[in-house]
Amino acid sequence: MKHLFEPYSLPSTTLNNRVVMAPMTRARRPDHVPGPDTAEYYRQRAGAGLIITEGVFVSPQAQGYSDVPGLWTDEQRAGWAVVTDAVHDAGGRIFAQLWHVGRVSHTSLQPAGAAPVGPSTLQAQAHAWVQGVGFLDASRPRALGTDEIPRLTADFADAAARAVQAGFDGVELHGAHGFLFEQFLNPHVNDRTDRYGGSVENRARFLLEALDALIDRIGAQRVAVRLSPFTRASDLPADDQAEAVYAYLAPELARRHLAYVHLSDLRLGGAADVPEDFLKTFRAAYDGTILLAGGLDRTRAEELIASDLIDLAVFGRPFIANPDLVERMRHNLPLATPDPDTFYGGGAVGYTDYPHHDGSAA
Ligand code: FNR
Protein backbone atom coordinates (compact mmCIF):
# COMPACT_ATOMS: atom_id res chain seq x y z
CA MET A 1 0.00 0.00 0.00
CA LYS A 2 1.15 3.53 -0.73
CA HIS A 3 2.27 5.38 2.37
CA LEU A 4 2.60 9.02 3.51
CA PHE A 5 6.13 8.52 4.83
CA GLU A 6 7.73 6.75 1.88
CA PRO A 7 9.84 8.50 -0.80
CA TYR A 8 8.18 9.71 -3.99
CA SER A 9 9.80 10.47 -7.35
CA LEU A 10 8.90 13.61 -9.25
CA PRO A 11 10.21 13.83 -12.83
CA SER A 12 13.25 15.88 -11.78
CA THR A 13 13.92 14.89 -8.18
CA THR A 14 13.04 12.40 -5.44
CA LEU A 15 11.23 13.50 -2.29
CA ASN A 16 11.93 11.88 1.10
CA ASN A 17 8.20 11.54 1.83
CA ARG A 18 4.78 12.47 0.46
CA VAL A 19 4.21 15.36 2.87
CA VAL A 20 4.31 18.80 1.21
CA MET A 21 4.46 22.21 2.89
CA ALA A 22 1.83 24.52 1.34
CA PRO A 23 2.70 27.94 -0.08
CA MET A 24 2.07 30.49 2.68
CA THR A 25 2.57 34.24 2.51
CA ARG A 26 4.28 35.50 5.69
CA ALA A 27 4.89 39.12 4.62
CA ARG A 28 8.10 39.76 6.55
CA ARG A 29 10.36 41.27 3.88
CA PRO A 30 9.72 45.03 3.40
CA ASP A 31 12.53 45.19 0.79
CA HIS A 32 11.04 42.21 -1.15
CA VAL A 33 14.39 40.39 -0.77
CA PRO A 34 14.47 37.07 1.13
CA GLY A 35 16.78 37.34 4.15
CA PRO A 36 18.49 35.09 6.72
CA ASP A 37 15.18 34.78 8.57
CA THR A 38 13.53 33.44 5.40
CA ALA A 39 16.30 30.83 5.03
CA GLU A 40 16.03 29.85 8.71
CA TYR A 41 12.21 29.46 8.49
CA TYR A 42 12.39 27.14 5.48
CA ARG A 43 15.45 25.21 6.80
CA GLN A 44 13.48 24.40 9.97
CA ARG A 45 10.74 22.86 7.82
CA ALA A 46 12.98 20.88 5.42
CA GLY A 47 11.67 17.60 6.88
CA ALA A 48 8.78 18.02 4.43
CA GLY A 49 9.23 15.92 1.30
CA LEU A 50 8.71 19.14 -0.65
CA ILE A 51 8.43 22.79 0.41
CA ILE A 52 6.46 25.16 -1.81
CA THR A 53 7.46 28.73 -0.95
CA GLU A 54 5.10 31.54 -0.11
CA GLY A 55 3.71 33.24 -3.22
CA VAL A 56 6.60 35.14 -4.86
CA PHE A 57 5.70 38.15 -7.00
CA VAL A 58 7.06 38.00 -10.55
CA SER A 59 7.04 41.79 -11.11
CA PRO A 60 6.22 45.03 -9.24
CA GLN A 61 2.83 45.01 -11.00
CA ALA A 62 2.09 41.52 -9.64
CA GLN A 63 1.83 42.78 -6.05
CA GLY A 64 -1.31 42.82 -3.91
CA TYR A 65 0.26 42.46 -0.46
CA SER A 66 3.10 44.41 1.20
CA ASP A 67 6.41 42.93 2.31
CA VAL A 68 6.29 39.83 0.11
CA PRO A 69 9.56 38.68 -1.49
CA GLY A 70 9.90 38.76 -5.26
CA LEU A 71 11.91 37.23 -8.08
CA TRP A 72 12.23 40.12 -10.50
CA THR A 73 15.75 41.32 -9.51
CA ASP A 74 19.19 39.71 -9.23
CA GLU A 75 19.32 40.73 -5.55
CA GLN A 76 16.12 38.78 -4.90
CA ARG A 77 17.62 35.81 -6.78
CA ALA A 78 20.72 35.95 -4.54
CA GLY A 79 18.51 36.03 -1.43
CA TRP A 80 16.61 32.96 -2.60
CA ALA A 81 19.89 31.13 -3.35
CA VAL A 82 20.67 31.24 0.39
CA VAL A 83 17.21 29.78 1.09
CA THR A 84 17.53 26.89 -1.38
CA ASP A 85 21.04 26.06 -0.09
CA ALA A 86 19.72 25.89 3.48
CA VAL A 87 16.85 23.59 2.49
CA HIS A 88 19.03 21.33 0.33
CA ASP A 89 21.72 21.09 3.05
CA ALA A 90 18.98 19.89 5.40
CA GLY A 91 17.92 17.21 2.88
CA GLY A 92 14.77 18.94 1.58
CA ARG A 93 13.44 19.96 -1.82
CA ILE A 94 11.89 23.34 -2.66
CA PHE A 95 9.73 24.86 -5.43
CA ALA A 96 9.03 28.60 -5.73
CA GLN A 97 5.39 29.66 -6.14
CA LEU A 98 5.17 32.35 -8.87
CA TRP A 99 2.36 34.85 -8.29
CA HIS A 100 0.51 37.75 -9.90
CA VAL A 101 -2.64 38.93 -8.10
CA GLY A 102 -4.24 40.53 -11.17
CA ARG A 103 -7.16 42.73 -10.12
CA VAL A 104 -6.85 41.98 -6.38
CA SER A 105 -4.53 44.90 -5.65
CA HIS A 106 -4.57 48.54 -4.61
CA THR A 107 -3.11 51.52 -6.46
CA SER A 108 -0.75 52.19 -3.51
CA LEU A 109 0.95 48.83 -4.20
CA GLN A 110 1.27 49.41 -7.95
CA PRO A 111 4.17 51.06 -9.82
CA ALA A 112 3.49 54.83 -10.12
CA GLY A 113 0.13 54.35 -8.37
CA ALA A 114 -1.39 52.86 -11.51
CA ALA A 115 -4.57 50.78 -11.57
CA PRO A 116 -4.14 47.03 -11.03
CA VAL A 117 -4.63 44.91 -14.16
CA GLY A 118 -7.11 42.15 -14.91
CA PRO A 119 -9.08 40.61 -17.74
CA SER A 120 -11.76 43.31 -17.40
CA THR A 121 -12.57 46.50 -15.50
CA LEU A 122 -14.79 44.59 -13.07
CA GLN A 123 -13.71 45.48 -9.53
CA ALA A 124 -13.21 42.71 -6.96
CA GLN A 125 -15.02 43.05 -3.65
CA ALA A 126 -11.81 41.81 -2.06
CA HIS A 127 -8.86 43.22 -0.16
CA ALA A 128 -5.24 44.07 -0.72
CA TRP A 129 -3.01 44.27 2.35
CA VAL A 130 -0.74 47.25 2.96
CA GLN A 131 1.76 47.17 5.86
CA GLY A 132 0.97 49.79 8.47
CA VAL A 133 -2.41 50.53 6.89
CA GLY A 134 -4.18 47.17 6.91
CA PHE A 135 -6.68 45.75 4.46
CA LEU A 136 -7.79 48.09 1.65
CA ASP A 137 -10.55 47.55 -0.88
CA ALA A 138 -9.17 46.35 -4.20
CA SER A 139 -8.99 49.25 -6.68
CA ARG A 140 -10.87 49.29 -9.97
CA PRO A 141 -8.66 47.40 -12.46
CA ARG A 142 -7.65 48.29 -15.99
CA ALA A 143 -8.35 45.62 -18.62
CA LEU A 144 -5.14 44.21 -20.09
CA GLY A 145 -4.69 44.80 -23.82
CA THR A 146 -4.28 41.72 -25.99
CA ASP A 147 -0.77 42.86 -26.90
CA GLU A 148 0.20 43.16 -23.21
CA ILE A 149 -0.32 39.47 -22.41
CA PRO A 150 3.05 38.33 -23.87
CA ARG A 151 4.86 40.73 -21.52
CA LEU A 152 3.14 39.22 -18.48
CA THR A 153 3.96 35.74 -19.73
CA ALA A 154 7.58 36.84 -20.15
CA ASP A 155 7.63 38.14 -16.55
CA PHE A 156 6.74 34.61 -15.38
CA ALA A 157 9.38 33.02 -17.62
CA ASP A 158 12.04 35.47 -16.39
CA ALA A 159 11.13 34.75 -12.77
CA ALA A 160 11.30 31.00 -13.48
CA ALA A 161 14.77 31.37 -15.00
CA ARG A 162 15.91 33.29 -11.91
CA ALA A 163 14.34 30.61 -9.70
CA VAL A 164 16.40 27.89 -11.36
CA GLN A 165 19.54 30.04 -11.13
CA ALA A 166 18.76 30.44 -7.41
CA GLY A 167 18.77 26.65 -7.01
CA PHE A 168 15.04 25.93 -6.80
CA ASP A 169 14.02 22.40 -7.79
CA GLY A 170 11.14 23.87 -9.77
CA VAL A 171 8.39 26.48 -9.87
CA GLU A 172 4.66 26.33 -9.21
CA LEU A 173 2.52 28.76 -11.21
CA HIS A 174 -0.10 30.23 -8.85
CA GLY A 175 -3.22 29.62 -10.91
CA ALA A 176 -5.53 29.50 -7.87
CA HIS A 177 -7.55 31.52 -5.33
CA GLY A 178 -9.16 34.05 -7.62
CA PHE A 179 -5.88 35.68 -8.69
CA LEU A 180 -4.78 36.56 -12.23
CA PHE A 181 -5.25 33.25 -14.05
CA GLU A 182 -8.55 32.32 -12.41
CA GLN A 183 -9.83 35.81 -13.26
CA PHE A 184 -9.25 34.87 -16.91
CA LEU A 185 -10.78 31.39 -16.47
CA ASN A 186 -13.97 32.77 -14.90
CA PRO A 187 -16.65 33.79 -17.44
CA HIS A 188 -18.16 36.38 -15.06
CA VAL A 189 -14.90 38.28 -14.52
CA ASN A 190 -13.54 37.73 -18.03
CA ASP A 191 -15.83 39.59 -20.49
CA ARG A 192 -13.18 39.85 -23.21
CA THR A 193 -13.94 39.52 -26.90
CA ASP A 194 -10.34 38.79 -27.98
CA ARG A 195 -8.58 35.39 -28.11
CA TYR A 196 -8.39 35.39 -24.27
CA GLY A 197 -12.16 35.59 -23.69
CA GLY A 198 -15.38 33.80 -24.61
CA SER A 199 -14.97 30.04 -25.09
CA VAL A 200 -13.37 27.76 -22.51
CA GLU A 201 -10.36 27.38 -24.82
CA ASN A 202 -9.95 31.15 -25.01
CA ARG A 203 -10.33 31.70 -21.26
CA ALA A 204 -7.75 28.96 -20.56
CA ARG A 205 -5.33 30.29 -23.20
CA PHE A 206 -3.43 32.68 -20.90
CA LEU A 207 -2.80 29.97 -18.28
CA LEU A 208 -1.61 27.47 -20.89
CA GLU A 209 0.54 30.05 -22.71
CA ALA A 210 2.17 30.99 -19.40
CA LEU A 211 2.85 27.31 -18.64
CA ASP A 212 4.32 26.85 -22.13
CA ALA A 213 6.59 29.86 -21.60
CA LEU A 214 7.83 28.33 -18.34
CA ILE A 215 8.33 24.94 -20.02
CA ASP A 216 10.31 26.56 -22.85
CA ARG A 217 12.54 28.35 -20.37
CA ILE A 218 13.21 25.74 -17.65
CA GLY A 219 11.79 22.41 -18.88
CA ALA A 220 8.44 20.75 -18.12
CA GLN A 221 9.89 18.57 -15.37
CA ARG A 222 10.48 21.73 -13.30
CA VAL A 223 7.07 23.33 -13.93
CA ALA A 224 3.94 22.81 -11.83
CA VAL A 225 0.61 24.59 -11.40
CA ARG A 226 -1.77 25.28 -8.51
CA LEU A 227 -5.50 25.43 -9.25
CA SER A 228 -8.55 25.81 -7.01
CA PRO A 229 -11.58 24.33 -8.76
CA PHE A 230 -14.89 25.85 -7.62
CA THR A 231 -13.26 28.42 -5.34
CA ARG A 232 -15.05 31.69 -4.61
CA ALA A 233 -11.87 33.27 -3.19
CA SER A 234 -11.09 36.92 -3.97
CA ASP A 235 -14.71 37.55 -5.00
CA LEU A 236 -14.71 35.02 -7.84
CA PRO A 237 -18.35 34.56 -8.91
CA ALA A 238 -19.71 31.00 -9.01
CA ASP A 239 -19.22 29.40 -12.43
CA ASP A 240 -21.75 26.68 -13.17
CA GLN A 241 -19.61 25.66 -16.17
CA ALA A 242 -16.48 25.05 -14.05
CA GLU A 243 -16.58 21.32 -14.80
CA ALA A 244 -16.19 22.10 -18.51
CA VAL A 245 -13.12 24.20 -17.75
CA TYR A 246 -11.49 21.29 -15.93
CA ALA A 247 -12.58 18.75 -18.52
CA TYR A 248 -10.67 20.87 -21.04
CA LEU A 249 -7.68 21.59 -18.78
CA ALA A 250 -7.00 18.02 -17.57
CA PRO A 251 -5.81 16.59 -20.90
CA GLU A 252 -4.11 19.88 -21.85
CA LEU A 253 -2.11 19.74 -18.62
CA ALA A 254 -1.45 15.99 -19.01
CA ARG A 255 0.15 16.36 -22.43
CA ARG A 256 2.56 18.97 -21.08
CA HIS A 257 4.12 16.42 -18.64
CA LEU A 258 4.38 18.88 -15.76
CA ALA A 259 6.10 18.12 -12.43
CA TYR A 260 2.66 18.08 -10.77
CA VAL A 261 -0.81 19.62 -10.56
CA HIS A 262 -1.66 21.02 -7.13
CA LEU A 263 -5.36 21.24 -6.28
CA SER A 264 -6.27 23.64 -3.49
CA ASP A 265 -9.47 23.36 -1.51
CA LEU A 266 -9.77 26.49 0.64
CA ARG A 267 -12.98 25.20 2.28
CA LEU A 268 -14.13 28.81 2.55
CA GLY A 269 -17.67 27.75 3.34
CA GLY A 270 -16.41 25.32 5.99
CA ALA A 271 -17.03 22.19 3.92
CA ALA A 272 -14.88 20.90 1.06
CA ASP A 273 -15.27 22.80 -2.19
CA VAL A 274 -13.36 20.14 -4.15
CA PRO A 275 -15.72 17.15 -3.87
CA GLU A 276 -14.36 13.60 -3.99
CA ASP A 277 -16.27 12.97 -7.22
CA PHE A 278 -14.36 15.79 -8.86
CA LEU A 279 -11.07 14.30 -7.64
CA LYS A 280 -12.04 10.95 -9.20
CA THR A 281 -12.93 12.56 -12.52
CA PHE A 282 -9.77 14.67 -12.59
CA ARG A 283 -7.62 11.68 -11.58
CA ALA A 284 -9.01 9.68 -14.50
CA ALA A 285 -8.37 12.51 -16.98
CA TYR A 286 -4.94 13.59 -15.71
CA ASP A 287 -2.22 10.94 -15.56
CA GLY A 288 0.50 12.94 -13.75
CA THR A 289 1.25 13.62 -10.09
CA ILE A 290 -1.60 15.21 -8.11
CA LEU A 291 -1.26 17.20 -4.88
CA LEU A 292 -4.19 18.21 -2.68
CA ALA A 293 -4.27 20.91 0.03
CA GLY A 294 -6.95 22.01 2.45
CA GLY A 295 -7.86 20.85 5.93
CA LEU A 296 -5.88 17.61 5.78
CA ASP A 297 -4.66 15.67 8.77
CA ARG A 298 -2.58 12.48 8.82
CA THR A 299 -5.61 10.18 8.71
CA ARG A 300 -7.32 11.89 5.78
CA ALA A 301 -4.03 12.24 3.87
CA GLU A 302 -3.31 8.54 4.25
CA GLU A 303 -6.84 7.63 3.12
CA LEU A 304 -6.53 9.78 0.00
CA ILE A 305 -3.11 8.37 -0.88
CA ALA A 306 -4.04 4.75 -0.12
CA SER A 307 -7.18 5.03 -2.25
CA ASP A 308 -5.01 6.49 -5.04
CA LEU A 309 -6.96 9.75 -5.40
CA ILE A 310 -3.83 11.86 -4.83
CA ASP A 311 -0.06 11.30 -4.74
CA LEU A 312 1.15 13.95 -2.30
CA ALA A 313 -0.62 15.53 0.70
CA VAL A 314 -0.18 19.26 1.32
CA PHE A 315 -0.31 20.83 4.78
CA GLY A 316 -0.46 24.58 5.39
CA ARG A 317 -1.26 25.91 8.85
CA PRO A 318 0.07 22.79 10.65
CA PHE A 319 3.54 23.57 9.25
CA ILE A 320 3.51 27.09 10.72
CA ALA A 321 3.49 25.88 14.35
CA ASN A 322 5.12 22.47 13.81
CA PRO A 323 8.48 22.76 12.04
CA ASP A 324 8.93 19.01 12.65
CA LEU A 325 5.43 18.18 11.38
CA VAL A 326 6.55 15.04 9.52
CA GLU A 327 8.16 13.57 12.65
CA ARG A 328 5.13 14.45 14.76
CA MET A 329 2.72 12.82 12.32
CA ARG A 330 4.97 9.78 11.87
CA HIS A 331 4.99 9.15 15.63
CA ASN A 332 1.44 10.37 16.29
CA LEU A 333 2.71 13.16 18.58
CA PRO A 334 0.45 16.08 19.50
CA LEU A 335 0.44 19.10 17.17
CA ALA A 336 0.95 22.71 18.30
CA THR A 337 -1.65 25.31 17.24
CA PRO A 338 -0.45 28.30 15.17
CA ASP A 339 -1.25 31.87 16.23
CA PRO A 340 -3.14 33.66 13.40
CA ASP A 341 -2.07 37.06 14.79
CA THR A 342 1.50 36.38 13.64
CA PHE A 343 0.69 34.86 10.23
CA TYR A 344 1.45 38.08 8.31
CA GLY A 345 4.17 40.62 9.09
CA GLY A 346 6.35 41.03 12.19
CA GLY A 347 9.63 39.30 13.01
CA ALA A 348 10.78 36.00 14.48
CA VAL A 349 7.82 35.63 16.83
CA GLY A 350 5.35 33.17 15.33
CA TYR A 351 7.79 32.61 12.46
CA THR A 352 11.06 30.94 13.44
CA ASP A 353 10.48 30.47 17.19
CA TYR A 354 8.10 27.47 17.17
CA PRO A 355 10.07 24.60 18.82
CA HIS A 356 10.31 20.89 18.06
CA HIS A 357 7.93 18.50 19.83
CA ASP A 358 10.48 17.90 22.63
CA GLY A 359 10.79 21.65 23.29
CA SER A 360 14.20 21.97 21.62
CA ALA A 361 14.86 24.81 19.15
CA ALA A 362 13.88 23.93 15.61
C1 FNR B 1 -2.06 30.65 2.70
N2 FNR B 1 -2.39 30.06 1.47
C3 FNR B 1 -1.70 30.45 0.33
N4 FNR B 1 -1.93 29.83 -0.85
C5 FNR B 1 -1.20 30.12 -1.95
O6 FNR B 1 -1.39 29.51 -3.00
N7 FNR B 1 -0.24 31.09 -1.89
C8 FNR B 1 0.02 31.82 -0.77
O9 FNR B 1 0.92 32.69 -0.76
C10 FNR B 1 -0.77 31.52 0.39
N11 FNR B 1 -0.61 32.21 1.54
C12 FNR B 1 -1.16 31.75 2.72
C13 FNR B 1 -0.81 32.34 3.95
C14 FNR B 1 -1.31 31.85 5.14
C15 FNR B 1 -0.88 32.47 6.44
C16 FNR B 1 -2.22 30.75 5.11
C17 FNR B 1 -2.76 30.16 6.39
C18 FNR B 1 -2.59 30.19 3.91
C19 FNR B 1 -3.25 28.86 1.44
C20 FNR B 1 -2.46 27.61 1.82
O21 FNR B 1 -1.51 27.28 0.81
C22 FNR B 1 -3.37 26.37 2.03
O23 FNR B 1 -3.98 26.07 0.81
C24 FNR B 1 -4.40 26.57 3.12
O25 FNR B 1 -3.77 27.04 4.31
C26 FNR B 1 -5.21 25.31 3.41
O27 FNR B 1 -4.39 24.30 3.92
P28 FNR B 1 -4.41 23.94 5.51
O29 FNR B 1 -3.87 25.15 6.23
O30 FNR B 1 -5.84 23.65 5.87
O31 FNR B 1 -3.51 22.73 5.65
Residue 49's pLDDT is what?
A: 98
pLDDT one-digit tens code per residue, 173-188? 999 999 999 999 999 9
| C-beta 231 within 6 A of ligand 1 | no
| C-beta 257 within 6 A of ligand 1 | no
Range name among 1-5, 127-131, 211-215, 265-269 with the lowest pLDDT average: 265-269
CA atoms of 229 and 164, how far apart (whole Å): 28
Residue 274's pLDDT is what?
A: 87
Looking at the predicted structure, is the pLDDT value of residue 270 above 80?
no
Looking at the predicted structure, is the pLDDT value of residue 138 above 80?
yes
Tell me if the pTM is above 0.95: yes
Residue closest by Cα to atom 15 of ligand 1: 343
Helix (H) and strand (E) counts for the chain?
10, 14
| C-beta 316 within 6 A of ligand 1 | yes
Looking at the predicted structure, is the pLDDT value of residue 315 above 90?
yes
CA distances (Å), origin 32, targets 29, 163, 337:
5, 15, 28
CATH for 8-342 is 3.20.20.70
| C-beta 264 within 6 A of ligand 1 | yes
Residue closest by Cα to atom 18 of ligand 1: 24
pLDDT one-digit tens code per residue, 107-129? 999 999 999 999 999 999 999 99
Residue closest by Cα to atom 6 of ligand 1: 23
Confidence of residue 225 (pLDDT cuts 50, 70, 90): very high
pLDDT one-digit tens code per residue, 346-359? 999 999 999 999 99
Beta bridge partners of 137: 127
Residue closest by Cα to atom 8 of ligand 1: 24
Residue 103's pLDDT is what?
A: 98
| C-beta 345 within 6 A of ligand 1 | no
Quote the ligand 1 centre to 145 CA distance (angstroms). 31
CA atoms of 318 and 125, how far apart (whole Å): 29
- Is the Cα torsion angle 237, 238, 244, 247 positive or negative in sign? positive
| C-beta 343 within 6 A of ligand 1 | yes
Question: What is the number of other CB atoms lying within 10 angstroms of the CB of residue 228?
Answer: 25
Residue 267's pLDDT is what?
A: 85
pLDDT one-digit tens code per residue, 162-220? 999 999 999 999 999 999 999 999 999 999 999 999 999 999 999 999 999 999 999 99
Quote the ligand 1 centre to 227 CA distance (angstroms). 13
Closest ligand 1 atom to residue 68 Cα is 9
Quote the ligand 1 centre to 317 CA distance (angstroms). 7
Q: Where are the domains of the chain?
A: 8-342
Q: Are 29 and 38 in contact (CB under 8 A)?
A: yes
Looking at the predicted structure, is the pLDDT value of residue 360 above 80?
yes
Residue closest by Cα to atom 11 of ligand 1: 24
Residue 278's pLDDT is what?
A: 94
Looking at the predicted structure, is the pLDDT value of residue 143 above 80?
yes
